[in-house]
Structure 1
Amino acid sequence: MRVLYVYAGLHWWRGYEKRLVDSINEAGTGIAIEFWDWTREYGVPGNPSLKWASEHRELLRPFYRALNERAKNADVVMISPGGGVVPDIMAEIAATVVYCTTDDPDSSHTCSFPFLEAADVIAHAGVNFDGERRISDVFLERGAKRTVFFPIGFYEERFPAIEDFDEQFARRDIDLVYVGHLKRGKLETVMNRYRGMTVHSRSLKLKHNVYVFAKTRRWIRPFRGDLCALYARSKVGINMHFTFGPCNGRSYQLNAAGVAQVIDCPEGISEIYEPNSEVMVYANMEEAVEMIDALLSDDSARYQISRSGYERARREYNSKHLLIQMLREVYCVNK
């Protein structure tokens, strides 16, 4: 299988993704992936939105010509999340086109809906679109030809296997951790209950920090260190989404690092983990606090959750396994 991976993404992820592709190419899987960071080649800053690409079609015309030429030598063209390849250009590609989307349902109107009819396959990272409907069902209703579930997972390079799980479990000294966007209306409940919890922000918006400070009297700073090292010291990790999911990286990274995860999204969590066995699942912040209390007061219960969740994540959700599995599923059906 020959795959053209049309990549546009944040610069700090590029190295991980490129080395992931190299490891697959060297593994004798029968999959040959050409990694093409087109934004670097054509001087496009960052990962362009569909709006930006639509307004700069003339600037992108050489890229679109090159894309059509390169695609002639591929069985599958895999396009990373973003708007650089506009829908009408995507529809013209002479190969099986897989468009990846990760920000559903919160950004579906810009990150996925415009591309549903143009791609042959939509590879989605999220599970539930709302309280009742799955993302795959909504996509099919709105014109997608086919969908596949493609979780974000974790890079083994970034989160290597734990050498001695029991030894590391015994020396974890951070009770509760959260690294992510400051979810207003959610995070402050937990922060006020656990005044010493470790919290770092991924949001650069001042209004979010001001809101959390007003509710908790704590000013949250971005995390600049080694996330794996932080998680290696953490006993319990709280996870939360803006609306529905699960879809974020924490869903996999916490478990991959052996942290006992307390996660929301009760409607869709059983798609990736066994509730109350591999993760604890809450429907509201009061339930989350109760579950955190229970895990911190009972080492044996926390060990069971963290160990079972760790083993499930290592077995099924490393990025290499997920990418190989998705490409084989797509190609076997479409060839």
Structure 2
Amino acid sequence: MTRQTEPSAGQHMSAEVASQPKIFADLVARRGEIAEIAAQVSARRPRFALLAARGSSDHAALYAKYLIEVLLQLPAGLVSPSTTTLYGAQPDLTDVLLISVSQSGGSPDLLEVTESARARGALTVAVTNTPDSPLNNAAELSVDVGAGPELAVAATKTYSATLLALYLLIDAVRGGSGEHAAALGELAQQTLDESAAAVQEAVQRFRFVDRVLTTGRGYSSATAAEAALKLAETSYLSARSYSGADLLHGPVAAVDAETGVLAVTSAGKGGAAMSEVLDVIHSRGADVFAVGSAASRVSAALRIPVAETAEEVAPVLEVLPIQRLALGLSLARGGDPDSPRGLNKVTKTR
């Protein structure tokens, strides 16, 4: 009789992090079908964009908000689902684009928001990892993230693939060719390989820290927010995310030598804007850990390299070593990131 081997802690999350280069390459190869959805969006000429999401998908939506405002020059906002689900708000959404972002496509509040928005005139697009989900059926158009089943509770491959799917969609809406995303599969593998040693060093430096602050500017604000969530849900750290623009306005008072600071600094305007902020943080004695293609250009005790790309796609890569950090810290602190305490894969809210 063959004895069934118990799964080792973190094996699902580890495998899913490692699978991302191929997922990116496959998604880029499907750019044509995403461009067909984008053509329908362009034809409707939306005057405003709204994004609805929860959890990690909310951070992907924040990234999409930057893309829409910068690349499409359209005003964009993040929906508060409870204005619809709890308060029954019914604004006129004629000529508005609503993008609902959900890995599972099963959250009741996002489903209600999408159904309500469509009934009130919005062009609705679902971006999910579950093509036959209720959310996809409710939306007029849908984009399949194509990351495959995710077994670990913490989202890794579905998060990064959602970023890439959103980029390919929005880039195609503006008439782009997806050229900045073309090599992301190869660059993702390069990033995972070249950052491995620095991530292990960061695990050893951060394993006894109880308070972590994450920060970034521009497109990388989404990565900083996702980093705080990953560290909180897998390692049970007290982690808080701030925009680099807000950090010096008050939160810096809580930074001292006992604070771990994870700063996302990729090449471009957002990363350049972090330089002065990190000079101040570093001078306060905080253990600053810089992640990104511009990490070597800022004040930090430890730097984790990321392959350089156009700034608008940097978040797809810069989150990879952060996922590995969350995995390593969870294991070093005696946890199992595949099943964090008190969490389920799908959270249903209204």
TM-score past 0.5 threshold: no
Bigger-Rg structure (1/2): 1
Give the TM-score normalised by structure 1. 0.33
Give the TM-score normalised by structure 2. 0.32
Structure with more of its chain in helix, by fraction: 2
